[in-house]
Amino acid sequence: MKAAVFHKPGQIQVDNVDDPGLIDPTDVILKVTSTAICGSDLHILSGAVPQAGNMIMGHEFMGIVEEVGKGVKKLKKGDRVVVPFPLSCGHCFFCNHGASPHCEQSNYKNYGPNGNLTDQKGGALFGYTDLYGGYSGGQAEYVRVPYADISPRIVPDKLSDDQALFLTDIFPTGWSAIDWAQLKGGETVAIFGSGPVGLMAQKAAWVNGAGRVIAIDPLEYRLKKARDVNHVTTLNPHDVEVVEAIRGMTEGRGADVCVDAVGFEPERTMMDKLKATINFEKGSMKVLDMAFRTVRRGGTVSIVGVYGSTYDNFPLHRVFDKAITIKQGQAPVINYIDKLITLVEENKVVLDDIISHTLPLSEASKGYEIFDKKEDDCVKVVLKP
Ligand code: NAD
Ligand code: ZN
């Protein structure tokens, strides 16, 4: 079959590889119909999240059940399913505590340097390096889905692939960022990063009753997308001092909730160029620093952007003084997905309006290139095997 394969940093290409087969009785094999490239995949492409050998990419995918393991009870051949990006065994300590991204069973390979299990034990994602279990991803014609009775959800017939695909990851991720802040209604929510995850957090903020949603991004075309599809207020740090601007909108207090939908910033030429043009005088452009300065006293900073290394000069004094609540992590997709499928089905939220590029799987490398470099007004790339 064809698959988008990571070879080394900077090199993801479409190769012919062996078809996956059933391994455990609780597996299914899915024939992938749609799969997307995620900002998280760019951390692998850049080498910031390391992977030693070749690996099939992709944790955002859906498709048709092709083969069913003997132990699978809920799915049958021909079912059309969407698959949450964290694997979940459904019965370990963490799965029982609503923390499926920390599933102990699905990542037994996560050993430390001395061969001992580290305190990082647990947590497996499709197509997300040996650190996260070493599972092949779904940017491929077929993919093996373990624990098939636990996470995959049957997609209602009336939903197209494009309407359903982002239930794998980015909508539940944007949703969790807002859910962690427990809005009561009328809040000002400032969302840093207006990429796919930020756009989904904007949608989630409105559905959860925000009074004002502010999108911040240095890329003007992404702010335009945010205005067009989500009707939010936008701020470009090239034009305004963001922290001051948001204080000005909130009687000096700051936003009730700040979402970091950017994450750590690898040395990407494109972003470096952008940042070099930003006025640093009034503070750092580092997104977390901006979020801690922007949030009001007693407010919440939700971090869904991925961090994979230490963060120097962490402003603990500000977090303490302002009594900020910080929530972060990989989104526990299965906690939200059933409710979110219903929201999409009932047309309470539209997800496919962020897709800017649909390409055949054979053009995956081009998809990575434009999404990474933010070329051709790229917002979200969907691949069709
Ligand atoms: P993306 O790269 O397309 O978007 C990031 C956006 O942030 C870009 O538009 C960029 O211009 C903007 N940006 C960069 N620096 C900024 C700054 N200082 N202030 C404001 N905006 C800034 O990626 P994406 O697909 O939207 O993903 C965003 C992050 O979310 C990534 O780190 C990704 O790994 C992470 N993610 C996390 C989860 C989770 O479960 N927690 C799931 C999916 C993605
Ligand atoms: Zn993703």
Measured from the Cβ of residue 384, the count of other Cβ atoms closer than 10 Å reads 14
**What pLDDT sits at residue 269?**
44
For atom 39 of ligand 1, the residue with the nearest CA is: 330
Q: Which residues pair with 189 in a beta bridge?
A: 213, 257
CA of 282 to the centre of ligand 2 (A): 33
For atom 8 of ligand 1, the residue with the nearest CA is: 195
For atom 15 of ligand 1, the residue with the nearest CA is: 262
Q: 296 pLDDT band (50/70/90 cuts)?
A: very high
Q: Which ligand is nearest to the CA of 180?
A: 1
Q: Which of 37, 40, 168 to mutate to test the pocket of ligand 1 (most atoms within 8 A of CB)?
A: 40
For atom 4 of ligand 1, the residue with the nearest CA is: 195
Minimum mean pLDDT among 3-17, 177-191, 233-247, 297-311: which range? 297-311
Minimum mean pLDDT among 45-49, 230-234, 283-287: which range? 283-287
**What pLDDT sits at residue 283?**
43
Which residues lie at CB < 5 A from ion ligand 2? 38, 40, 169
**What pLDDT sits at residue 312?**
66
Q: Which ligand is nearest to the CA of 381?
A: 1
Q: 203 pLDDT band (50/70/90 cuts)?
A: very high
Q: 119 pLDDT band (50/70/90 cuts)?
A: low
CA of 1 to the centre of ligand 1 (A): 31
Contact 257, 295 (CB under 8 A): yes
Q: 324 pLDDT band (50/70/90 cuts)?
A: very high
**What pLDDT sits at residue 48?**
84
Of 99, 108, 160, residue with least CA distance to 329: 99
Minimum mean pLDDT among 45-49, 99-103, 142-146, 189-193: which range? 45-49
pLDDT in tens, 236-252: 999 999 999 999 999 99
The span from the CA of 156 to the CA of 172, in Å, is 17
**What pLDDT sits at residue 288?**
86
Per-chain mean pLDDT for the chain: 91
**What pLDDT sits at residue 286?**
80
- Residue 376, token pair as written in the block: 């051709």
Over residues 16-32, mean pLDDT: 97
Is residue 385 predicted with pLDDT exceeding 70? yes
Q: 266 pLDDT band (50/70/90 cuts)?
A: low
pTM of the model: 0.94
Q: Which residues pair with 234 in a beta bridge?
A: 215
For atom 43 of ligand 1, the residue with the nearest CA is: 170
The span from the CA of 280 to the CA of 274, in Å, is 12
Over residues 193-198, mean pLDDT: 98
CA dist 150 → 25, 38, 137, 284, 337 (Å)? 13, 23, 18, 43, 12
Which H or E run includes 291?
A: helix 287-294
The span from the CA of 153 to the CA of 75, in Å, is 9
Q: Which of 42, 197, 286 to mutate to test the pocket of ligand 1 (most atoms within 8 A of CB)?
A: 197
**What pLDDT sits at residue 268?**
46
Over residues 365-380, mean pLDDT: 97
CA of 34 to the centre of ligand 1 (A): 22
**266 or 364, which is more confident:** 364
Over residues 107-114, mean pLDDT: 55
The span from the CA of 250 to the CA of 264, in Å, is 28
Pocket of ligand 1 (CB under 6 A): 38-40, 42-43, 169-170, 173, 192-198, 216-219, 222, 261-263, 271, 285, 287, 304-306, 330-331
Instruction: Count CA atoms within 13 Å of residue 117 on its CB side.
Output: 10
**DSSP string covering 300-364, please?**
EEEE-S---S--TT--HHHHHHTT-EEEESS--HHHHHHHHHHHHHTTSS--GGG--EEEEGGGH
Atom of ligand 1 nearest to the CA of 263: 32
**131 or 240, which is more confident:** 240
Instruction: Count CA atoms within 13 Å of residue 239 on its CB side.
Output: 10
CA of 149 to the centre of ligand 1 (A): 31
Over residues 274-287, mean pLDDT: 50
Q: Which ligand is nearest to the CA of 176?
A: 1
CA of 264 to the centre of ligand 1 (A): 8
Query: Which domains does the chain carry?
Result: 2-168+332-384 (3.90.180.10), 170-328 (3.40.50.720)
Q: 289 pLDDT band (50/70/90 cuts)?
A: confident
Rg (CA), the chain: 20
For atom 36 of ligand 1, the residue with the nearest CA is: 305
Is residue 18 predicted with pLDDT exceeding 60? yes
- CB within 8 Å of 296: residues ≥ 6 apart: 250, 253, 254, 255, 256, 322
CA of 198 to the centre of ligand 1 (A): 7
Q: 210 pLDDT band (50/70/90 cuts)?
A: very high
pLDDT in tens, 78-110: 999 999 999 999 999 999 999 999 998 887 655
**What pLDDT sits at residue 123?**
86
Measured from the Cβ of residue 255, the count of other Cβ atoms closer than 10 Å reads 26
The span from the CA of 273 to the CA of 269, in Å, is 6
